[in-house]
Structure formats: C-alpha cells, structure tokens
Structure 1
Amino acid sequence: MGNTESVVVQKRLARFRPEERPVVEGVFDRLQAGGGPPGAAAKTSPGKALTLEMLKASMGSVASDSMINRVYRGMCSVDPGPGPAPAPAGSGKTGAAAVSAVSREQLVIFLADVLRGTAEERAPLVAAMSRQGAGGSEVVTCDQIAEFLQDLVSAVVQILVHRGRLQGWKPDRMGDSSLGVKLLAEHMCSELKPSDQGCCDVPCLEDWIFRVPQVSLYLEMLVAEGLSVALSCRPAPTLLPPCRETPWNELRCLLDLPTLMFLAPQLPDSYSAPWKLVFSTRLHGESFTRMVGGLAKRGPTLLLIKDTKGHVFGGFASHAWEVKPQFQGDARCFLFTVFPRLRVYTATGYNQHFMYLNQNQQTMPNGLGMGGQHGYFGLWLDSDFGRGHSRARPKCTTYGSPQLSGDEDFTLDSVEVWAVGKPPEPEEGEEGEGKRSILDVDPEVQAMMEMAGKTLHSQGLREPEEDQEE
C-alpha cells in the first residue's frame, strides 16, 4: 500500500476540502490509466510508480516536453517522508530520464504544495524544475530561472488558446506571442535578488515567489489544467480582460497575449470593464482629432505607441480625457514599456502632472502628454501627429520612468487607444437623440471661436464616433 496513510501525506490532504480530497488522491490512478478524464479506471494495480511517459500522456496538449520534464523533476524532488521512494532526485543521476518513477505519496505532496502550498514549500520545487538535471544542488542561476519561466509562460498561453479562454482576443491578429513570452519571463526574472555570483538559493526563491504572485498562479494553472485537477472552490483564473466589438479582420494589434497578461493586473481593481478599441492609426488614419475623439468621454483608457525604431510603450489614464490647458488625472495613472522590455512606472508623488490634453490653443502646447512638464514630458504626442518625445533626464519626475522611446524625439509608426473602464455618466442635458452642436447651427460662431483660440470640443469629439458607425 506504500505510505498513503503517512503523516506527511495526511497533513497535505488536510488542506483540501473533504469533497476535493478524492480528486487529489485519484490523480495518480488516472495518470496510470493513461491520463484519461477524472474517474477513469486504472489499468495497473494501485501503488505502482508514475513514469514520465504517463505524465506526457496527460500534459502533452498544454505543455512542451521541456516543461513536462521540469514538472516531473519537481515531483521527483519531493521527500515523501519515512519509507522508500522510487529513484528520488539527488541520487547522483542526471536528466529526467534517469529518475525512473514518482510514487503516489510524492505526487500527492507535489499537488498539495503547488495548489495549496506556501512560498516556502514551492521554492524547492521551482529550484528542482529550473535545474537542467536531477542533481542535488539547491542553487540555480538566473538564466536557469529565466528558461523555466519561458517554458511556464508558454504553457499558460497554450492553455488559454487551446482551452478557449481568450475572452474575445484573436492571437492570429495580434503581436508575436513567442516574443511576448520572453519579455514576460524576463520581467518576472528581474524581480529576483540573486547573490553577487548571480545564483539563487532556496531562501532567495522563496522571497521571490512571495513577491511575484504570478509564479504561483501560472504554476498552479499549469498543474491543474495539465493533470485535470478540478477543485470546487478554485475556478480557473481569468488572465485576460474581456475584449468586445473589435474589428479583427481589419486590425493588426500591437498587443500580444503575454503582454495582456502583464498589463491587465496593473490596472486598479475596480477597472474590470471589457476592453474596447476606440482608436487605431491602422483603422482611423493618422489624425490627432480622431484620436482625441476616441479618447474623450470614454472613461479610463490605455494608450499604446510604436515608434519607427520598434519601441512599444504607452500610458494608462485613470480618468476620461478632457481637452483643456491644465493637467488632470490622479496617482492611479502610470506609464509602461512593452518592447524592448516589459516595465510599469507608477506615480512618484513628486507632482500631479499625470495627464494633459490640449488642442487648437495658441498660448499652450497642443498635444497629449503624461508626466514631467511642458516641453519635457515622460510621454508626449504632438497635435500635428506623427511626432512625439520622451524626455527623462535621468527620469520622469511624475512617474520615475526612463526614456520610453528609441530616440528622445521619436517618429510614430502606429498608435492604439483601448477603453478599459466604465465610461463616465453623461452630464445632465447630454443625452437626447438628435442633439446638434453649436458648430452645426451657426458656422459664424465656429469662425469666431477659432479666431479667439477657443478649443473646438464638438469638432474634436464627434468625428471618430461617425467613423465607428460606418
């Protein structure tokens, strides 16, 4: 019977609800049955060992062989407590194939530590999965962690695609996910605090896992999906925001799935509305007026910019943009980069220059800016369109961001604006169908406003809405 009734195993099983324990205990027999669905009968007698091939039969549709080998090494590294375990890790052999099998007890403990464990319990498993072989060293390099993360993130993306959890996004009309995988893995790895020699021991990994929750989230998702462990109180995590009303047939999106997985959690918790594309140079042309129309009265928005040097960056606006010569927004705004690195830069508290949007003024700068000050914005798009700057010497005062673009003064390649929150409630008198602008009623008023340097709000706000109805 093995050690199924051991104290170690029973303590791990106690973390699960009574109705969940049979699910966890049944994984071993189901994998021996060929990785079939829950409830499948075992073809072999209980108590025998789990092999790498059995694991591949279950996880092959959602993970690469490299990631499955890593998971297997993690299982083999588990100390099941008193009693023999089949070919444990650290036996002097190397490579996943050198570890012949995993015991029932090792699997149960592994599942408990991945699905219900602490950072302290997960750290040795991550170390084992990051090492190239099954050797006994508990120290891994940052490069090994980065390779592990690439395999892990790639598997999570594969799960989202093959399990139909895309939330309306279309990967074939988006950016290169393989590049996004590397960038997201690099970002997560950047949070490590290795030794001077660039190595990470188990306490270092424990601290990192505690501070970077995505490590546990992605690992839990991989194991739960790959081994079909459906727990009643743990629905599958939603890693992508919903996407609605996007003309995918005409669009080549600047975003990719890993970038979405990175950006969505950065938004404040209350911003859970479906994402909607409200402006794209690919769809609406290179028009500042059209972009203003896409931004204004849309609620919180995410601005994405690609320059001609290939850098991709942008900003999150927590409020609906208003055309006026004053700064607006609050400390929930942030700037970010997508390429060549994934990073987010939040408010420093130094000043409140979060958002700026102006048009058709003679005395104030005309354009869109975030952070810094006039002439030295962390992110600036000129109203003439096609040009902008990101001036940070050495950092943007508002957000602490470095230069985001390839060159300080950059040329635009493309721009996207996504509405990511609930639109503001219309002000009194704004509803009402058939309401006409004063600009339509009296052209002379329009001319007088232009001569006086007044901002033509109606002119800027209505054009894109007409475009979207086409």
Structure 2
Amino acid sequence: MGNAQSPSTDTQFVSASRAFSQKELEDLKTLFVSLAAQSQSNAQYISPSVFKAYFGIHGALGDRMFNVITRSRNDGKLTFEDLVIAKGTYEKGTKDEIDEFIYQLLDVTGDGIFGRSDIEAVLIVMLDDILCSEPESNPHQDIVSIFLNTANFSESHEGCAESSMSFEDFRQWCALLPSVRKYLGSLLSPSDPGRPCSQVPHILHGQSIESNLLLLKKEYAWHIGGVLSQRELDEWKLLYHSAFNGQSFNTFLGSISSNDGPTVLIIKDKEGYVYGGYASQPWEKHADFYGDMKSSLFQLYPRASIFRPTGANNNLQWCAVNFSSASISNGIGFGGQVNHFGLFLSANFDQGHTFPSPTYGNPHLSRTSQFYPEVIECWGVLPKGAQQGSQKTNKGTVLERFKEDRHMLNMVGLANSSE
C-alpha cells in the first residue's frame, strides 16, 4: 500500500483498518483499483469526477465530500488510505464520530462557518438527487425553505455577519429531519434506488383529482418517510380528500374502511399551516387511546419536523365517534390526553386543537392551539406485498372491524348475533 503518507496518516489508516474484516478490506481495494483505473491515474488515486459519478454525489455536496475525504489536501487525489479512513469513520465509527463527519459535510465553503447558505446548497443538491431534477433548475426553493426554517444557527463569529449552525444545532436539526440524516449518512453507499432514504413513495390519487390540488407533495412524502421502513415507501393511495369526499367524519371513516393498514393524515388549516400524523394502526372506534410506537406527528409547512414517540406514555392514537360521555372526545387524534391532545380533529371535522404533548415531544403544530381545517387528506400506506393480505382482512364483519362495539356487545351477550 506504500509509505507515501506521513506517520500520523499511517496511524489513522492502521486504526481505521481494524474496523474492517479482511474480506471487507479486499473489497475496498478492488473498488479502489477499479475507480483509480477509470481515473487514468496508473492505479494511484481516484479523481474527483470519477468519485462523484460512482457515488452519485454532485454539486457543492460532492465537492465537499471529496475535500473532507482527502483531508483538505486540495490535490485532487483520493488514495486508498483516504478511502479506508473515511469509510472507517463514516460507516464504522461511534455515533459521535459519524455525526461529526456528517456535520463537516455541511460546511461546503470550508471556512468553518456552517451558515444558512451552506445548508441551503446541500439541501438543493439533495432534493435534485432524490427527485431527479435537472441540476441548477432549483425547483425546490419552497421546500428548501421549510427545512431551513427548522434549523437553528446559534453560533456567531467575529467579523462575520452570518450566524453558524453549531454541532448541537446540527444534531437537533437531524432529530427533526430524519430523512435528511438518513440521506447524509448513506452517501458512500453505491448510488442506486436502494440507497437508504433515496426512495419516494409512488403517490396514487386517481384521475379525478389534479396533483396541484393535493397537500401531499413528493418532497413531503420523502420527509414523512424518514421514520418508515423501505417496505412502507412503495405506494401511498389517496383514500379521502375533504374537498371531493365531503368534510364529514362518517364519510372519512367510510372512505378509509377498505384500508386495514397505516395511514397518513394531513391537515391544512385556514392560516396556511400544514401538519398531520402517521397512524400505524387502522382508524377504528375505541373508547380509549390505542396504537403502537410506530406512529408519529409531523409538520410540513411553514417548517418541516417529525416527532416520534418519546415513551413517556402510550397515548398514541385516538378514534372515537358517537360517544355521549363527556369524558370521551369524539374525533380523531394523536398524543397528549383527552381534551388536550398533541393533535385532535373533532368529529364535526370543522375544528381541532394541537398542544405540546409528552407522548411525541411536539410543540404546537399550528400557529395557535386552536385551528380550523381548510383541507383534510388521508393516504393509505400500501407496503410491498400487502395487497393480498388487505383483501383477506376486508372480509370481516362490521363488528369485527369496530372492536370497541364488539367488546360492548360481548358484555351483554350479543356479539355473535351477526355471525
């Protein structure tokens, strides 16, 4: 492997090599030789253009990744030692080491100031790649802005007017934008559709609704999908839209009754805020909270955030209709507690509320706690291979689908009267 590197660099290489098996090192060497041959470097190094083409990292982000891997030598030569050290840190390091590596990628100008313009440049490259846009066409400015609105820039630098994103700011930003974190954490995987967080669900909405009338954009679906498995990112089908199906709870339940899997509920209120929740369990009538830890709340506009269950309680999902008890709120919701939900939409579908909740660790999702919906959408998540299973589950009776009703009938001995 040669001894051209300085002793300190050799020490880094030896240390990084220990993170790999012999087979993994041999595979890395094979990859290096192949890319070096394409670089016409007499098998000595990988050129910037070949590196960026193979890993599919373009624009300012590709330039910065090459610079970070080559440890800012600015000689245009990526050596085998560079590759092993970078992948040893980026893929095999501790969480702190990996986060620090990714954090350095955001400083595209290399001046030590992680400013808003740096983050914007990274986001533009990212969205161009994921959504297959033409470079430099910049069709995602609105989406870039909502991701930037989530970020904090708390550090100041003497003589510099632009504030900087600190390492702690970066970690908080990634916690709210898991799709961004997944993407930035997978850049040294081969560029293909299977790369983590490169998949965008295929949005199925039928021919009767124009796509520009939908709340769910591809960019939003990618953002929401940051907490989901690849299996759940195959197809999302529109089940309910208030402008076309009518703003009614009963119509809503009827429209989604054929779906026995997860759903994505999206609300746009009359102040223009867009937010919602991922319901991992079907919407079924209950007299109490239910659901599991796969659910989440999210914001889509004017800022983008995901809020996953904290484990503080199990008040994850709520669906109640036609209950006369004052202690049971008729409507659908997520988190918090009765009358003080993380997100709640009343059974009349004409108002709702959102409060900070310990269930999801979310703030107000709307501008104020009370909101009035303008548009409501619900999308069915169709995991790969789930279509046949859903056909089987739909064969159950109404009493089987509405478990709370069945439980009440069991108490009076009538549960089997429909069978």
Report the TM-score when normalising by structure 1.
Answer: 0.61
Per-residue Cα deviation, 1:179-208 (whole angstroms, up to 9, x for no partner): 334444665x56x99899987888998999
CA distance, structure 1, for counterparts of residue 325 and residue 175 of structure 2: 52
Corresponding residue pairs, total = 369
Q: In the alignment, which of 51, 66, 70 is matched to residue 72 of structure 1?
A: 66
CA distance, structure 2, for counterparts of residue 367 and residue 23 of structure 1: 56
Indicate the SS of the match to 1:262: helix
Shift of 1:275: 2.5
Alignment partner, residue 206 of structure 2: 247
Report the TM-score when normalising by structure 2.
Answer: 0.67
- Mapped pair 1:159 → 2:129: yes
Identity %: 19
Per-residue Cα deviation, 1:411-440 (whole angstroms, up to 9, x for no partner): 222111112266582465579xxxxxxxxx
Indicate the SS of the match to 1:413: strand
Alignment partner, residue 275 of structure 2: 313
Shift of 1:254: 2.1
- What is the alpha-carbon root mean square deviation over aligned residues? 4.8
Structure 1 segment 217-232 matched on structure 2, within 5 A: 217-219=182-184, 221-224=186-189
Indicate the SS of the match to 2:253: helix
Q: In the superposition, relative to structure 1, how do residues 200 and 303 fare at CA in structure 2: closer, same or farther (>3 Å)?
A: closer
Shift of 1:308: 1.6
**Does the 8 A contact of 2:352 with 2:371 survive in 1?**
yes
Q: In the superposition, relative to structure 1, how do residues 55 and 270 fare at CA in structure 2: closer, same or farther (>3 Å)?
A: closer
Indicate the SS of the match to 1:68: helix
Q: In the superposition, relative to structure 1, how do residues 57 and 381 fare at CA in structure 2: closer, same or farther (>3 Å)?
A: closer
CA distance, structure 2, for counterparts of residue 426 and residue 4 of structure 1: 67
Structure 1 segment 319-330 matched on structure 2, within 5 A: 319-323=281-285, 326-330=287-291
Q: In the alignment, which of 81, 86, 93 is matched to residue 118 of structure 1?
A: 93
Q: In the alignment, which of 237, 241, 251 is matched to residue 276 of structure 1?
A: 237
Q: In the alignment, which of 300, 304, 329 is matched to residue 338 of structure 1?
A: 300
CA distance, structure 2, for counterparts of residue 62 and residue 296 of structure 1: 43
CA distance, structure 2, for counterparts of residue 185 and residue 250 of structure 1: 28
**Does the 8 A contact of 2:179 with 2:226 survive in 1?**
no
Larger C-alpha radius of gyration, 1 or 2?
Answer: 1
Q: In the superposition, relative to structure 1, how do residues 290 and 71 fare at CA in structure 2: closer, same or farther (>3 Å)?
A: same
Per-residue Cα deviation, 1:257-311 (whole angstroms, up to 9, x for no partner): 4433332243489867742221122443433332121334523222110112111
Structure 2 unmatched ranges of 5 or more: 134-138, 400-419
CA distance, structure 2, for counterparts of residue 210 and residue 309 of structure 1: 26
Structure 1 unmatched ranges of 5 or more: 33-41, 79-87, 89-98, 164-175, 432-470
Alignment partner, residue 27 of structure 1: 35
**Does the 8 A contact of 2:29 with 2:80 survive in 1?**
no
Q: In the superposition, relative to structure 1, how do residues 401 and 375 fare at CA in structure 2: closer, same or farther (>3 Å)?
A: same
Structure 1 segment 367-406 matched on structure 2, within 5 A: 367-390=331-354, 392=355, 395-396=356-357, 398-406=359-367
CA distance, structure 2, for counterparts of residue 355 and residue 362 of structure 1: 15
- Mapped pair 1:63 → 2:58: yes
Indicate the SS of the match to 1:154: helix
Indicate the SS of the match to 2:131: helix
Structure 1 segment 252-263 matched on structure 2, within 5 A: 252=212, 253-263=214-224
Shift of 1:235: 5.2
CA distance, structure 2, for counterparts of residue 57 and residue 400 of structure 1: 38
Amino acid at match of 2:278: F
Amino acid at match of 1:354: Q
Indicate the SS of the match to 1:420: strand
Q: In the superposition, relative to structure 1, how do residues 334 and 209 fare at CA in structure 2: closer, same or farther (>3 Å)?
A: closer
Q: In the superposition, relative to structure 1, how do residues 109 and 178 fare at CA in structure 2: closer, same or farther (>3 Å)?
A: farther
Q: In the superposition, relative to structure 1, how do residues 57 and 69 fare at CA in structure 2: closer, same or farther (>3 Å)?
A: closer
Alignment partner, residue 414 of structure 2: none
Indicate the SS of the match to 1:16: helix
Alignment partner, residue 266 of structure 1: 227
Q: In the superposition, relative to structure 1, how do residues 203 and 383 fare at CA in structure 2: closer, same or farther (>3 Å)?
A: closer
Indicate the SS of the match to 2:24: coil
**Does the 8 A contact of 2:179 with 2:225 survive in 1?**
no
Per-residue Cα deviation, 1:151-201 (whole angstroms, up to 9, x for no partner): 4443333333339xxxxxxxxxxxx744334444665x56x9989998788
CA distance, structure 1, for counterparts of residue 397 and residue 201 of structure 2: 31
Amino acid at match of 1:161: L
CA distance, structure 1, for counterparts of residue 203 and residue 169 of structure 2: 41
CA distance, structure 1, for counterparts of residue 314 and residue 144 of structure 2: 35
